[in-house]
Chain A
C-alpha cells in the first residue's frame, strides 16, 4: 500500500526567503506524485505533478518540486516566498494512473509566510 509522510505540521518562513515543504513517499512500483494547496474554506488546488521524465518539476505560482528516487522524496520549493503563499499544502501519491487508483494524501503542512 502506498503512503505519504509530511514530517512538518507547520513551516514558518519570512517573506522573500526560500521555502521548502517536505514530502516522502512509499509505493511499490513507479510513483506518481502531486502537490495541492488549500486556502481556508476552499477546495484543493493542483500545483504540480511528477509522472515521468525530468526530476525537477515546475508548477503554478513559481513553485517547483524535485523528485528524488533514492531518498523517496518530493519536496516542494519556492525561491522567494510571498505572504499570499500562506496556506495548507498536501503531498499525494498514486501507485498507478488508472481512474480507480486512489490518490493517497499526506496529513498536510501549514505554511505561514511572515511579512
Chain B
C-alpha cells in the first residue's frame, strides 16, 4: 500500500544533542511537509519541500533544518534540541495540485 513512513516512532535525545527524524513516501508526491504538534494542539507547519525547493515558515526557529535528497525521502534535523522541542513531529505529503495531504504516523521526540 502507498503510504508515508516515519522513523523512528519514538526518539529520546539529550538536551543539545543533534537528532534527525526520517520520513519516506511511496506516493510519489511532489510536496513533503514537516509539522510540529505539541500536546494535542493543532499541527504547526515548520517547512515544506516543493520538489527540491525548500520553503521555510517565517516563525520556524533556525534550530530546525530539513533535507530532501530525493523524491521519496525527507529528513528533519534538530541541531540543538531544547526541552521545548519535545513534541510529536508529523510528516505529510501532497501532489503538485495537491488537494489532500497524507500524514505519516509521527515521531514522538522526548528531550532529556
Contact = CB atoms under 8 A, between A and B. Distances in A.
A106 B42 CA distance: 6
A51 B99 contact: yes
A50 B90 CA distance: 23
A90 B42 contact: yes
Interface string B72-97: 00000000000000001010101111
Contact of A100 (B48, B95, B100): B48
A98 B48 CA distance: 13
Classify chain B: how many residues form its interface, as a range: 20 to 34
A69 to B, nearest CB: 18
Contacts of A105: 42-43
A99 to B, nearest CB: 4
Nearest to A94: B99
A88 interface: yes
A103 interface: yes
A1 to B, nearest CB: 12
Interface in B35-56: 40-43, 45, 48, 50, 55
Interface residues of A, number: 24
Contacts of B98: 97-99
B34 interface: no
A70 interface: no
A62 interface: no
Contact of B99 (A32, A42, A100, A106): A32
A41 B108 contact: yes
A46 B100 contact: yes
A88 B45 contact: no
A108 B62 CA distance: 27
Contact of A103 (B95, B96, B101): B101
Given A99-B50, A99-B96, A100-B55, A43 B105 contact: yes
Interface of B: 4, 6, 30-31, 33, 40-43, 45, 48, 50, 55, 88, 90, 92, 94-106, 108
Give the top 6 A-B pairs by smallest Cβ distance, nearest first. A99-B31, A105-B42, A43-B103, A44-B103, A43-B105, A43-B106
